[in-house]
């Protein structure tokens, strides 16, 4: 069952985005390593292969049965504070941005998935919640959650897209 903070769907002048904020009792360098080292990402997100210096890698999501590898274009990489990528999915590109900031003796993570029309976050929200909980477990060397059914469809109503502001 989901126990960590839910994400939020926001609409503003920059468009519609799904955003999560999490705090970890680890340094930014430690969290960065869990986000970028292929052996560590394999534990919670999935195994990536390729040379990041080329500007792209191939990723197979860990909890997606029989999923094909997805091309991940690296848009910005500023260790250990900001990683922006675009995942090429069958549903279209997924622009993602992760920022890390020192927070006391730990690290605050902000994860943003910029949504495209038709702006449906009902499955994306629980999906990213699931993966971020897996990251939290991996950071403290605990078993990662493995039942997506505990995340979906229970909180999908929490990821409704706000209405567009009325025209003036």
Q: Which domains does the chain have, with CATH numbers?
A: 8-159 (3.30.530.20)
**Euclidean distance between CA atoms 55 and 4, whole angstroms:** 33
C-alpha span between 21 and 85 (Å, rounded): 18
CA dihedral 103, 131, 16, 28 (to 10 degrees): 20
Helix axes 28-36, 124-139, angle to 10 degrees: 120
**Higher per-residue confidence, 78 vs 92:** 78
pLDDT for residue 57? 97
Whole-structure pTM value: 0.91
pLDDT (tens digit per residue) in 125-163: 999 999 999 999 999 999 999 988 887 776 767 888 888
**CA 113/CA 133 separation, integer angstroms:** 16
pLDDT digits 0-9 by tens, 28-70: 999 999 999 999 999 999 999 999 999 999 999 988 878 889 9
Percent of the chain residues past pLDDT 70, beyond the cut? 94
Which pLDDT value is given to residue 122? 86
Q: In degrees, to the nearest 5, what angle opens at C-alpha 22 toward C-alphas 55 and 28?
A: 55
Report how far residue 67's alpha carbon sits from residue 61's, in angstroms, rounded to the nearest whole number: 7
């Amino acid at each position: 069952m989901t126990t960590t903070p839910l994400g939020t769907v926001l609409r503003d002048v920059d468009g519609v985005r799904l955003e999560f904020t999490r705090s970890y009792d680890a340094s930014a360098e430690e969290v960065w390593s869990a986000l970028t080292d292929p052996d560590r990402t394999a534990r919670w997100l999935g195994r990536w292969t390729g040379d990041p210096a080329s500007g792209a890698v191939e990723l197979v999501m860990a909890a997606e049965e029989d999923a094909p590898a997805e091309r991940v274009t690296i848009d910005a990489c500023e260790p250990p504070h900001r990683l922006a990528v675009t995942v090429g999915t069958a549903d279209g590109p997924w622009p993602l941005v992760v920022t890390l900031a020192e927070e006391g003796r730990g690290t605050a993570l902000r994860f943003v998935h910029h949504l495209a029309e038709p702006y449906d976050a009902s499955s994306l929200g629980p999906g990213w919640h699931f993966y971020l909980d897996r990251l939290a477990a991996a950071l403290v060397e605990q078993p990662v959650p493995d039942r997506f059914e505990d995340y979906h469809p229970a909180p999908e109503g929490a990821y409704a897209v706000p209405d567009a502001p009325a025209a003036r």
